[in-house]
Copies of this chain bind each other. A is one copy, B any other.
Amino acid sequence: MEIKLPIALEALINHLSRLPGVGKRTAQRMAAELLRWKDNDLCAFADCLAHLHERVQSCPICGNYTDGGPCVICANPLRNPAQICVVENPAQIAIFERTGCYNGLYHVLGGKFAPLSGVGPEQLRCTQLQERLKDGQVKELILATSADVEGEATAHFLADMFQDCDVAITRLAIGIPAGADLSYTDSPSLAQAFSGRRKL
């Protein structure tokens, strides 16, 4: 028999359960912890949530997170404007930045094709990308969508869309993960690594 919790606690648990990776039991544990927080910590957290959309905006150029106006990358004059790396979401920009091997600009699509959820070219920021290619400054478009079926479909759609533009269209290499033991590599990656092998 489940015990009846106070309404406000039940509501909090329901909100927490909607977070990724959080089930009912974890949400209960989080709520118990939040009850131990001081009132001003709770209010600061609440304030963050209530004003999230007005304080964290989309960069009008690339779609990355920004405090307002162009994002830190688009506003940086040291970045190479001849390269645009196309990613699915702003969180992926952080992943590329951590590698430290890319100094161009980004373009956030806002997702990848997902026909079952009704996500097609119109739901993604494809026309905005087209706009950015118009002035001829961009020389390379790196399609860095995921290596799954949806990501590949999205990349191929974009490659078709921009085939007549004077821009090199590239795709991230697929192969064995760096540092990986070959014994544990999955066949699709190994097959792609084979066909994409390079001269030493």
Report which A residues bind B (CB closer than 8 A).
1-9, 11-12, 15, 18-22, 26, 28-30, 32-35, 37, 39, 41-53, 55-57, 65-67, 72-73, 89-91, 93-94, 97-98, 100
Name A65's contact: one of B6, B19, B55, B73 (CB within 8 Å): B6
Known: A6-B65, A49-B42, A50-B42. A56 touches B29 (CB 8 A): no
Say yes or no: A49 contacts B49, CB within 8 Å.
yes
Say yes or no: B46 contacts A34, CB within 8 Å.
no
Known: A3-B72, A3-B94, A94-B2. A45 touches B56 (CB 8 A): no
Q: Chain B residue with minimal CB distance to A7? A: B67
Say yes or no: A98 contacts B48, CB within 8 Å.
no
Say yes or no: B42 contacts A53, CB within 8 Å.
yes
Name A52's contact: one of B8, B20, B44 (CB within 8 Å): B8
Q: How many Å lie between the Cα of A109 and that of B132 in the bound state?
A: 63
Known: A32-B89, A91-B32. A100 touches B55 (CB 8 A): no
